[in-house]
Chains A and B, each alone.
Chain A
Amino acid sequence: MSKPIVATTSLAGCFGCHMSLLDIDERILELFQLVEFNKSPIDDIKTFTKQCDIGLIEGGCCNSENIHVLKDFRKNCKIIVSVGECAIMGGLPALRNGIPVKECLAEAYLDGPTVGNNTEGILPNNEELPMILDRVYPCHEVVKVDYHLPGCPPRADLIWEALVALVTGNELKLPYEVVKFD
């Protein structure tokens, strides 16, 4: 029997959730026995090469590229899991929700205390660059998301238990300590 295939990505996240996945320590060996990885920063496969069973999404959607990747994941994965606060509710990037994009860009590139020598007042506007969205969107407001794993990042044990439950079909046990929002 072939192994279930897992894909992962980081959208508007900080890679903390991926770090937390690596925090399962030596169970990572067990994980590679259990599943095969496809598109993921973990193995550096950049594009889907086959249909996957599980897609783990870190981060919410803050630009057009995030939307594109998320929709690609939905198309290529049977099960989509929002991993972490950013995927679930936008997280810290969503602190900008409510502030007009123009003001955010001005703070970042024109007026902010760390802005260097942008004397011409240039805002990044190359067509190669993804478009910033009007606000940061939780993943489930863009595509259908099947499961949510809260935490910032989710505890390694939660990610591990959830993956094992999904792969083996066993019931997911959720001890009180593992479901936390920070």
Chain B
Amino acid sequence: MSEKIKFTIDGKQCLAKKGQNVLDAALENGVYIPFLCHVKGVKQAGSCRICNVKVAGRTMTACTTPVAPGMEVENDIPELHDLRLAIIEALFVEGNHFCPSCEKSGNCELQALAYRYQMMVPRFPYSFPQKEIDASNSKILIDRNRCVLCKRCIRSFQDDQGRNLFAFKSRGHKVEINIDKECAVNLSDELAQEIMDVCPVGALIRKEKGFNEPIGTRKYDKKPIGSEITSVV
């Protein structure tokens, strides 16, 4: 093995591989930095900005920042706590998140972050945007009301010719996630499940299989997101 880079997160000594980003390195060192758009092993997007950390007084996304020797990362500080909560709240008011009727509820990473950061009510006004649902695919339902535009699906799924199964259409506040109707024809049940699992929220829903886990047994009913890495402080 090549030699490891030494750095610290909130004063804790950590080791990173050469070229590794702060987020992956933190998780490997048992430090939880919250994130939404990151998927392990997939090219980073730096789009959700929940993994914001501070290095030398500057705020930067941990997923797109390579570890440098001697780097001093600040993670668990009140300022970042509030910044992250503000982003979570913004995501809630920017879409239409009716958790009580959402198939992903209990397993949703956005909701789980809101639980971890104890969001009681967003500080921003609800925008109730109008979004279209696309139920044309035989295996996957797209509910854009819940999409947080994290690009996880775009970055994660290609067909055997390397073509993306998902893509954004339009720009700015009109941007919306779409499925490639030709590439995504005949999806297997396994792939449909994988797609649903990669989406952090309930925007990509596997058809004909909802609400099959009782309340109390779902992923984030009892344990906060990230608690498998570090306990909530």
Interface positions of A (Cβ within 8 A of B): 82, 85, 88-92, 94-95, 97-98, 135, 138, 140-141, 145, 147-150, 152, 174, 176-177, 179-182
**Contacts A95-B98, A182-B106 known; A174 to B118 CB distance under 8 Å?**
yes
Which residues 120-166 of B have a CB within 8 angstroms of A? 120-121, 125-126, 128-130
Give the residue of B102, B105, B126 whose beta carbon is less than 8 angstroms from that of A89.
B126
Interface positions of B (Cβ within 8 A of A): 92, 96-102, 105-106, 111, 114-115, 118-121, 125-126, 128-130, 215, 221-224, 232
Report Cα–Cα, A174/B111, bound state, in Å.
Answer: 17
Number of A-B contacts (CB under 8 A): 68
Question: Chain A: which residue is nearest B108 at the CB level?
Answer: A181
Report Cα–Cα, A145/B118, bound state, in Å.
Answer: 18
B96 contact set on A, CB distance < 8 A? 95, 97-98
Beyond A176-B115, A176-B223, 14 additional contacts (C-beta under 8 Å) are: A82-B121, A85-B98, A88-B121, A94-B98, A94-B128, A97-B128, A138-B126, A150-B120, A150-B121, A152-B99, A152-B100, A179-B115, A180-B115, A182-B102
- Would you call A98 and B126 a contact (CB within 8 A)? no
In the assembled complex, the CB of A142 is this many whole angstroms from the nearest CB of chain B, namely: 12
In the assembled complex, the CB of B211 is this many whole angstroms from the nearest CB of chain A, namely: 10
Report Cα–Cα, A92/B100, bound state, in Å.
Answer: 8
B118 contact set on A, CB distance < 8 A? 174, 179
B98 contact set on A, CB distance < 8 A? 85, 91-92, 94-95
- Would you call B126 and A149 a contact (CB within 8 A)? no
**Contacts A176-B232, A181-B111, A182-B106 known; A148 to B99 CB distance under 8 Å?**
no
A177 contact set on B, CB distance < 8 A? 221-222
A95 contact set on B, CB distance < 8 A? 96, 98, 101
10 contacts between A and B (CB under 8 A): A89-B97, A89-B121, A141-B125, A176-B115, A176-B222, A176-B223, A177-B221, A179-B118, A179-B120, A181-B114
In the assembled complex, the CB of B146 is this many whole angstroms from the nearest CB of chain A, namely: 13
Question: Chain B: which residue is nearest A87 at the CB level?
Answer: B121
**Contacts A148-B120, A176-B232 known; A98 to B100 CB distance under 8 Å?**
no
Report Cα–Cα, A147/B221, bound state, in Å.
Answer: 23
A140 contact set on B, CB distance < 8 A? 121
Report Cα–Cα, A141/B92, bound state, in Å.
Answer: 16
Q: For B101, B105, B126, which residue has the most chain A Cβ atoms within 10 angstroms? A: B126
**Contacts A98-B128, A140-B121 known; A91 to B100 CB distance under 8 Å?**
yes
- Would you call B120 and A149 a contact (CB within 8 A)? yes
A147 contact set on B, CB distance < 8 A? 120
In the assembled complex, the CB of A148 is this many whole angstroms from the nearest CB of chain B, namely: 4
**Contacts A98-B129, A176-B232 known; A181 to B99 CB distance under 8 Å?**
yes
Question: Chain B: which residue is nearest A136 at the CB level?
Answer: B128
Question: Chain A: which residue is nearest B215 at the CB level?
Answer: A182
